[in-house]
Structure 1
Amino acid sequence: MRSVVQRVKRASVKVQGETVGRISAGLLVFLGVGQKDGDPDLTWMIDKLSGLRIFEDSAGKMNRSVLDLGGEILLVSQFTLYGDCRSGKRPSFTTAAPPERAKVLFEQVEEGLRSRGLNVATGVFQAEMEVELVNDGPVTILLDSEKTF
């Protein structure tokens, strides 16, 4: 499981011109699900996203999580995080999970984050989406449950 995590002042996602998800301060998370992902990856990602200390404390150090902040998460499905561009110019997505499996795991991540007390907004799975954000910092973190980066 992979994610691109951005610390934001606000973020929103639209489908066909209609806003379907919006947050104020918190995290915008683009989440990709791989073919081999299972419960360990799911648990790892939920723990990492809810506990990731990328918000500043009173001393200006990154010591606070989205939970500590009382922030929100905008979770957006993005299979292209599994795009492999090592060969040729066109990405291969063969390591991305099939949509049916990816949707189940995506929804489990959403549920897991909500169970931690987080307010979670989402995009629409498999829809063409427009994402708007105000990156805070900017701070952008890459996460991979297989720890390949």
Structure 2
Amino acid sequence: MRAVVQRVLNAGVTVDGECVGKIGRGYLVLLGVGHGDTRAEADKLWGKLRGLRINEDENGKTNLALADVDGEVLVVSQFTLFADCRHGRRPSFTDAGAPDVANELYEYFLTLVRQDVEHVAHGIFGADMKVDLVNDGPFTIVLDTDSL
């Protein structure tokens, strides 16, 4: 699994002009599922993400985890995180997980997040979504379970 995590002051996702999810201070997580990913990768990814100390303390140091700041989470499915751009000009997405498996793991990941975070919002798997955010910092990191 891969995730692009952005620390945000607020973020939202719309589908067909309707807001389907929004958060205040917290993390926007763009989540990609690859071939061969399982619940074990989702567990590993959320375990790492929930404990990351990427929020500033009173001294401006990144010492605080999501729970320390009562952060919220918006999760948006993003199969394009598995784009292969090595050949030609059109990306290949053959490394992305099959939609049915990817959707199951996306939903499972949301279940994990909800166990630890009071306010969790999400997009609609497979939909054409528009994402708005105010990146805080800016602070953006990339996590890949193959290298965690």
AA aligned to 2:119 is N
2:9 touches 2:25 (CA, 8 Å); kept in 1? Answer: yes
For 2:137, the equivalent position in structure 1 comes to: 137
Deviation string, structure 1 residues 62-91 (Cα, Å, up to 9, x no partner)? 111111110100000000000010111111
Cα contact 1:7–1:140 (8 A) shared by 2:
yes
More deviation, 121-130/32-41: 32-41
Identity of aligned residues (%): 51
Gaps spanning 5+ residues in structure 2: where?
none
User: What is the DSSP-based 3-state SS (H/G/I as helix, E as strand, rest coil) of the residue aligned with 2:102?
Assistant: helix
| Aligned counterparts of 1:57 and 1:81: Cα–Cα separation in 2 | 31
5+ residue gaps, structure 1: none
TM-score, normalising length: structure 1? 0.96
Alpha-carbon distance between aligned partners in 1 of 2:140 and 2:25, rounded to the nearest angstrom? 14
Query: Structure 2 length normalisation: TM-score?
Result: 0.97
Query: What residue is the counterpart of 1:35 in the other structure?
Result: 35
Q: What CA RMSD, in Å, does the superposition of the two structures yield over aligned residues?
A: 1.1
Counterpart of 2:91 in structure 1 is 91
Contact 1:57 1:64 in 2 (8 A): yes
Partners of 1:112 and 1:118 lie apart in 2 by 12
Return the alpha-carbon distance in structure 2 between the equivalents of residues 74 and 42 of structure 1. Answer: 16
1:73 equivalent to 2:69? Answer no
Shifted more, 43-52 versus 105-114: the winner is: 43-52
Q: Which amino acid aligns with 1:5?
A: V
